[in-house]
Amino acid sequence: MVDLLEFEGKELFKFYGIEVPKGQLVHSIKDFKDFEEEHVIKAQVPAGHRGVNGGVLKFKTKEEFIAAFNKISSLTFNGFKPASFLVEKAIKHEQEIYVALTLDRNNKSPVLLISAAGGVDIEKIPKNKIKRLYLDVFIGILDYQKRQAFKFIGLNENYMLQFYNILDSMWKIFTEKDAELVEINPLAVTATKLIALDSKVSIEDDSLFRHPEYKRDEYSSDNLEMKAKKKGISFVRLSGNIGLIANGAGLTLATIDQIKLAGGMAGDFLDLGGTDDPARVAEAIELVKESNPKVLFINIFGGVTKADTVAEGIIQAINKLNINFKIVVRLKGFNEAKGKELLRKNGIDAFTDMGEAIKEVVKLANYGNSN
């Protein structure tokens, strides 16, 4: 998934008819000279929560601009240091609304999310304050759904046509650009207009052959995922505290499900594929270490992958790195006896049964009773 920078998302918004504040992309202090009105400077990085982390500042004078620019330039956001900055006219507004189109994988359909309480604390909004409208991918947002959304946010009827047009434009971006997410947070309500103060647009990786203008190697929504990608390793961050390394996409996803069923939650997963190169295994463990898991589960089913060389990689990582978390290993398949013996000599017991191994993992991760 490619997360567009805010200014890129707003360029899309403007093209599709969604109003955004007048702005300018700058790379240095000398690039901006308009100090007649209050402005906002925003760090352009593929990371969220910029506002609460100091990446969005207002200014009125040249001196305030220089101070804000220098402050934001010195910050790092989820591992990314900003190289460009969006400077926009500050918009006075009465209300902030949240509007987003994304995919609901459980429902297997697009979903429209809408709330009258948008802004930086949207994650803290109670579920009953966010309306979900499931959409038909072949039809889009129906008129009655637009009416439901508009009624839910409770705006004056003077904004109705603008709001409907914004929904139509978001749907066009979502479908024509193969997006996984099109989000406006906040959509500002001024005395006469609805203006998108921020943009978040994520493009599906597999569609980039249709959208070469968004193909890039230097950005990811997560710095560690980007680091792994550059090494040619499949690595995805999740929300739990159990690190997972497995070989093969099927086994990896099945293991995530089994961890969940046992009462745990994977914090990330790394797919070794068919490799059993000890150096590669050690490199994978080093990547997982950076995500700071409570426990690491290494689940290897050896067909092409040899269990003993995977064990050598685990031992290399332990000897090289200052491991501060528990490691649980499940080895099954080609050369498993040799691999288990290597691990045993280095103080690591390896399981044969995946279910037993996962019980131990969940127990070590302190998720309560895993019996």
Inter-residue contact 90 to 40 (CB < 8 Å): yes
Please, what is the end-to-end C-alpha distance for the chain in angstroms?
37
Inter-residue contact 57 to 40 (CB < 8 Å): yes
Cα dihedral: 20, 177, 101, 23 (round 10): -10
**Residue 183 known to be catalytic:** yes
Helices assigned H by DSSP within 52-210: 62-73, 143-153, 160-176
Identified catalytic residue from 19, 88, 96, 183 = 183
**Using CA atoms, how far apart are residues 58 and 42, in angstroms rounded to an integer?**
9
Residue 6, both tokens? 């805010």
Location of structure tokens 């569609």: 207
Inter-residue contact 8 to 201 (CB < 8 Å): yes
Inter-residue contact 159 to 189 (CB < 8 Å): yes
Amino acid residing at 23? G
Report in angstroms the alpha-carbon separations of 106 from 3, 53, 111, 134, 292: 22, 32, 11, 11, 29
Inter-residue contact 359 to 370 (CB < 8 Å): yes
**Using CA atoms, how far apart are residues 38 and 50, in angstroms rounded to an integer?**
19
**Residue 367 known to be catalytic:** no
**Using CA atoms, how far apart are residues 134 and 127, in angstroms rounded to an integer?**
16
Contact residues for 268 (Cβ-Cβ < 8 A; gap 6+)? 224, 235, 236, 237, 238, 243, 244, 288, 291, 293
**Using CA atoms, how far apart are residues 351 and 343, in angstroms rounded to an integer?**
11
Identified catalytic residue from 6, 19, 98, 367 = 98
- Which amino acids are annotated catalytic? 98, 183
